């Protein structure tokens, strides 16, 4: 993770920020999937947590090697979004940057599909399963998320994103096609 570039959403009176971020992140996911990229990470410098305050913000930062980021940008993955974003050049990471993990967190949100699956697997009625999941569904999740469709399965889901605590030393590893990793770090500054 020697270089980075920033992508900022421009305010738009016709489209809410969350809608534009969903479109941007969906396009990035497709590009990372098509490139089979496991060496490009993301972070959201403006993210906030809290039930009422959670947001990923309007600022997406891409992390990787200079050549790899250049290759990503040459794919044209931002077509259709250029009017909605401002880009920085690909720059070296500041020497004094700390490092964090940016990873996916999954939660059992008590969805209807989960209740139906539970009922089928455990031979109980759907109504019983709904009641069992009702307590789970009332839990408040504080992490920001973006709603996406998986490139491989086409299923819609909420991608909850957790930024870890800053640490002095980077940790190597691979990133998934959302630019996230359970153990690898990205620079944080």
What amino acid positions are annotated as catalytic residues? 29
> Using CA atoms, how far apart are residues 129 and 123, in angstroms rounded to an integer?
10
Q: Say if CB 151 and CB 30 are below 8 A apart.
A: yes
> Using CA atoms, how far apart are residues 93 and 108, in angstroms rounded to an integer?
36
Long-range contacts (CB closer than 8 Å, 24 or more residues apart) made by 50-53: 50/142, 51/140, 51/141, 51/142
> Using CA atoms, how far apart are residues 66 and 93, in angstroms rounded to an integer?
10
> Using CA atoms, how far apart are residues 90 and 103, in angstroms rounded to an integer?
23
> Using CA atoms, how far apart are residues 62 and 135, in angstroms rounded to an integer?
38
* Nearest Cα to Cα of residue 59 among 165, 144, 157: 144
């Amino acid at each position: 993770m020697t270089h980075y570039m920033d992508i900022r959403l421009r305010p738009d009176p016709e489209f809410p920020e969350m809608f534009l971020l969903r479109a941007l992140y969906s396009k990035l996911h497709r590009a990372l999937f098509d490139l089979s990229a496991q060496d490009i990470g993301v972070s959201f410098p403006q993210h906030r947590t809290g039930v009422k305050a959670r947001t990923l913000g309007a600022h997406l930062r891409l992390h990787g090697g200079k050549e790899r980021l250049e290759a990503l940008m040459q794919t044209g993955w931002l077509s259709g979004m250029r009017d909605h974003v401002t880009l920085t050049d690909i720059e070296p990471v500041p020497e004094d940057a700390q490092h964090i993990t940016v990873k996916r967190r999954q939660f059992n949100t008590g969805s209807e599909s989960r209740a139906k699956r539970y009922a089928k697997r455990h031979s109980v009625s759907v109504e019983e399963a709904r009641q069992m999941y009702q307590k789970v569904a009332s839990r408040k999740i504080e992490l920001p998320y973006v709603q996406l469709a998986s490139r491989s399965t086409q299923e819609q889901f909420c991608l909850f994103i957790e930024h870890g605590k800053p640490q002095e030393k980077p940790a190597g590893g691979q990133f998934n096609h959302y630019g996230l990793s359970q153990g690898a770090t990205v620079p944080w500054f």
